[in-house]
Structure 1
């Protein structure tokens, strides 16, 4: 076994690898960019080496700099994590030439599976089922469109290199094909340095089921069962679970055989995932093989009682697989949710900032938290905005689902917007609860997932008003009478008027201190609250219901974290509203920091509501800025290639 390894990655996966190495007594070396100088993985590792500037292309993607760091540190092996250089055959060869073990498959296997077109041809010779489509070399737009027309719509355009949903678009009609192709090729070039795509038949109501495989250098290959990753948004996984609901033993065996046949066809060693599209009729088709550990590997670990990172280390050190196929068994059910810094109610735009308050569920036999950040850390625009993965396990799916609901309710994040509330709504949808799974689940449940259908009750407004008033009181230990804002009068405290905003609603409430607690008047309703609201914690009785939780105020935003739900209220500031110095009129602003990719209309154009105006790239994904109404584009404040800050004026737009 190795004495010291270098981890050529960052964030959650680097912390995950460090945890296993620490348990096995293996020293770890972290690498970090300027943006990650104080990151959690740097703090956890035994050593850390600086490798460059914040952009990944100037740090984590610099193979020669990472190899030099490994040599200087005396590391015997490099674990690439996932993303970055994990599926780079050139980097695997460079490690081998330098006498450093690459903890991953042989470069030949990465080459064979790294190009989706070549992989499809190889799988055909291995008798692995394939989706109908064009996987050839020709890339002229007109030719590819003709292939799509022949296949029949809908079709899926996919980048040949890479994965993670990048460079992938579903196309419903021939007229939309070339615009979708151009977007795919731009995204593929930016993410993988390769604009080559393939075109396949889109399987209606498909399930995305992947098989975890593992091979060793002694010729043995096993599969550690399946994961259902059907719940996706823009081809990126949102929820994953194992085993797949409704999977029969016969189908599992057939898919397991196909996956191990695929691995053997390329002489696979190490951890890999063979991904399949499964139709409602029971048929399944090979999509691709990921020649690395997957983000969702923890659900497999929990149902099999294994540590897949440990397996990677042992296999890379030349040891045989720790278990045979006959020794592997499924125990219980596991579900994973990815907690991201993104605004689900604004098109899932990434969110950046400092994690001023971060509280995640306590790990237990039923709950696992894999995180790459801690309170006080920053989510930057340079990398994937994942905060943590929540993984739960229980004896069956219904019990695991209850665990996940509870775990999501315990997530408290202030400083960035997260998808936690969206995830809570998602696991409560009828489709997910009943395991009616396919890749269109989120779209199908759009109405249930729309936050505007979840209105705050009068009691919620009253609770927020009390907490808003309480947040203005001094912290414990501050005895100054001038710090107390309780509306004191000679005749007793007056009622405080508080104006709150929640979603698109604004209401004024009047809060009065009483001997027992507070009275809140909201219109004709009078609501009594009894209890305490000291500093960040509250325990308030509303009628027969006791509300406990935390309330965090950041500026004029109040975050209310309760045992059953989380709410965010804005405390209306009439002075700030009257100050129009920051009003940009009809301008459209950048919704996040990023790079302008292309401008889609000419200055002076008259456009209709929803017309795409420009494309931005941020956190490795493309985002299209659309016209908010019918109107005229008078001009652009940025050109293609410009880096822009969050809130920068991009388009001078005048609505009709």
Structure 2
């Protein structure tokens, strides 16, 4: 076993590897960028080495610096984590040439499976079923367009060197192909340095099912069953579970053996995942009719590996370390058993209601459910952040992974919802409530799974509120009253806010805004208790709530009693923003100080960056007439492209940046004037 390893990654995977290494008595070395100087993974490792600037290209992709750091600290091996250099064959070769063990497959296996087109040709020779498509080397745009027409729409354009949903576009019509190809190639060259693509028939009602494989240096390979990763947005996974619902024993064995054959064909060593697209021609209730096609092999540990650990009782990082040090596989195929059901939810900094736009910001509140860290348990949280940390624009938007396990799928679902309800994040947009809604949809709850689940259930998933606004306002007022009592000074009657009057009933007024609507709340101190009335403000004012109101404080929460309905709530206030958490969900609103209130109107004709990032391209020039909804610019942030659309008809007056420029959140990109 190794004495010291260097972890060539960041975030939760670096913390995950460090935790297992520490348990095995292995010292760890972290590497970090300027942006990650105070990151959690730097703190949990025994040593840390600075490797460059903020962006991955300046730091975590600088493999010469990483190898030098390993040599300088006396590390014997390098664990690449996932992403960054984990599937870089040149890096794997360089490690070997430097006398370092690369904790992953041999460079030859990475090369064989690294390019999607090449791997598909390899699988075709091995007799593994493939989705109809074009995997050729000729990348002439005219040929690619004709091949797409031949295959038949819809088709999927995929970056040949891609992964993680990057460089992928669904094309529904022939006339949209050229623009989609160019966008896909831009994203591919930016993410992978390779703009080659392949084209495949877009399978209808598809499931994404992958097989975890593991090989050792003695030539043995096993499969640790399957994971269903069908629930996706932007072709990136949102929820993963193991085992796959509805999987028959025969199909499991068939797919597992095919995955092992694929791994053996390239002399695979270490952890890998063989991904299949599974067609359901007979519908969701006929698993015996499912057909599978090889999609790709990820020659690394996957983000979703904890669900496999949960159902097999294994530590796959420990397996990696043991196999890389020359030990045989800890278990044979016959010794591997599948027990229970596990689900993983990816907690991301993003706004689901705004096309999952990545978010940056400060984790002002980050309260996690009762869970273990990096262990097989009923509830587990894998993260690389702490309360007070910031989510930067330089890396992906994942905050944490929440993994639960139950004896059955229904038990795991209930446990996941409870754990998500206990997860409180304040300071930036996130997908926690979206995840809770997703697992409660009929499609997910009844295991009617395919990659179109999210758009199919859109009405239940987007722009939802967990309760009437009056509840949030009542919780905010209860928090204010409780804070006033907490800060009151004993023995000083003038510091108490109990509305005592010598004569008559006292009334207090509070102003709030939510979703551009203003509300006024009147709190009356009556002889028999408090009474709350909430109305909207404006020409057509409407009553929102009118009834008795009371609260009591516990150690870390408030018991809110509103019109004979009791709820436990957690309320967090930052400046004027108030966040309310309860069992049913999360809501936020703004408390308005009348002395500071002003009527500010956004300047018309301005188009601003919705997040920090890089301007990729402008699709218009100064003087061009544009229509509402027309694409004006393309931005890249957190490894994804985002198109900026015209909010109205007009004429482009001026472009204020050039392609390649880095811009801040809210920066004005161009201006429009009326025609």
- State the TM-score bracket (shorter-chain normalisation): over 0.9
Range with bigger deviation, 621-630 or 37-46: 621-630
Task: Establish whether residue 567 from structure 1 lines up as the match of residue 587 from structure 2.
Answer: yes
- Secondary structure of the 1:181 match is helix
**Which of 603, 624, 627 is residue 608 of structure 1 equivalent to?**
627
CA shift digits 1:329-375 (9 cap, x unpaired): 11000000000111112221111122111101111531010011011
- State the partner residue of 2:357: 349
State yes or no: 1:547 paired with 2:555.
no
Deviation sequence 1:602-625 (CA, Å, 0-9, x none): 223332222111000001110111
Query: What does the per-residue CA deviation read over 1:585-605, in whole Å, with 9 as the maximum and x for residues that have no partner?
Result: 321211110000000122233
Change in CA separation of 1:219 and 1:538 when aligned onto 2, cut-off 3 Å = same
| Counterpart Cα distance in 2 of 1:479 and 1:636 | 64
Change in CA separation of 1:124 and 1:478 when aligned onto 2, cut-off 3 Å: farther
**What is the CA distance between 1:462 and its match in structure 2?**
2.7
Q: How does 1:223-242 map to 2 (within 5 A)?
A: 223-242=223-242
> How do residues 307-386 of structure 1 correspond to structure 2 at under 5 angstroms?
307-363=315-371, 365-386=377-398
CA distance in 2, matches of 1:649, 1:125: 53
Q: Does 2:562 align with 1:512? A: no
| Cα separation, partners in 2 of 1:454 and 1:406, compared to 1, 3 Å | closer
Separation in 1, partners of 2:611, 2:491: 42
Alignment of 1:372-521 (within 5 A): 372-452=384-464, 456=468, 458-468=470-480, 470=482, 475=487, 491=503, 494-513=506-525, 518-521=530-533
In structure 2, the CA distance between the partners of 1:461 and 1:655, relative to structure 1 (3 Å rule), is farther
User: 1: distance between equivalents of 2:70 and 2:497?
Assistant: 58
Output the CA distance in 2 between the equivalents of 1:574 and 1:135: 64
**Pairing 1:149-188 to 2, within 5 Å after superposition:** 149-188=149-188
TM-score by length of structure 1 reads: 0.96
Cα drift, residue 487 of structure 1: 6.5
- What's the CA shift for 1:407? 0.8
**Residue of structure 2 equivalent to 1:623:** 642
Equivalent residue of 2:335, what SS? coil
Answer yes or no: is 1:305 the counterpart of 2:319: no
C-alpha distance in 1, partners of 2:17/2:632? 43
Partners of 1:471 and 1:535 within 8 A in 2: no
Instruction: Give the root-mean-square deviation of aligned CA atoms.
Output: 2.1
Q: CA shift at 1:241, angstroms?
A: 0.3
Evaluate the alpha carbon distance shift between residue 442 and residue 491 of structure 1 in structure 2; reply closer, same or farther with a 3 A threshold. same
Deviation at 1:499, TM superposition (A): 2.4
1:456-506 superposed Cα distances (whole Å, 9 cap, x missing partner): 254344333433555567647698878766667664673222222333543
| Aligned residues of 1:128 and 1:261 also touching (Cα < 8 A) | no
Q: 1:186 to 1:573 in 2, by over 3 A?
A: farther
Provide the C-alpha distance between the structure 1 equivalents of 2:15 and 2:89, rounded to a whole number of angstroms. Answer: 24
CA distance in 2, matches of 1:392, 1:122: 37
1:500–1:570 Cα contact (<8 Å) kept: yes
The answer (yes or no) to whether the contact 2:342–2:404 under 8 Å persists in 1 is: yes
Give distance in 1, aligned partners of 2:629 and 2:493: 55
| Matched position secondary structure for 1:436 | coil
Residue-pair matches, total? 655
Quote the offset at 1:575 in angstroms. 5.5
Deviates more, 1:468-477 or 1:215-224: 468-477
Unaligned runs of 5+ in 2: 282-289, 536-542
Q: In 2, Cα distance between the equivalents of 1:2 and 1:477?
A: 60
Q: 1:270-313 CA distances to partner (integer Å, 9 max, x unpaired)? A: 00000000000311111100000000000000000000000000
SS at match of 2:506: coil
Q: CA deviation at 1:112?
A: 0.5
Residue 543 of structure 1 and its aligned partner are, at CA, apart by: 4.0
Q: 1:230-269, CA deviations, whole angstroms, 9 ceiling, x for partnerless residues? A: 0000100000000000000011111111111110111000
Partner Cα separation in structure 2 for residue 292 and residue 42 of structure 1: 22
- The separation in 2 between residues aligned to 1:450 and 1:579, in whole angstroms, is 29
Question: Does structure 2 conserve the Cα–Cα contact (< 8 Å) formed by 1:452 and 1:503?
Answer: no
Q: CA deviation at 1:577?
A: 5.0
Gap change, CA 1:516 and 1:471, over 3 Å in 2: farther
| Unaligned stretches of 5+ residues in structure 1 | none
Deviates more, 1:43-52 or 1:267-276: 43-52
The answer for the alignment partner of 1:55 in structure 2 is 55
Q: How far 1:530 moved relative to its partner?
A: 2.1
Deviations 1:195-226 (A, max 9, x none): 11111110001000000000011010100000
Judge conservation of contact 2:273–2:297 (CA < 8 Å) in 1.
yes
**TM norm structure 2:** 0.93
Following superposition, the deviation at residue 526 of structure 1 comes to 2.5
Task: Give distance in 1, aligned partners of 2:597 and 2:658.
Answer: 32
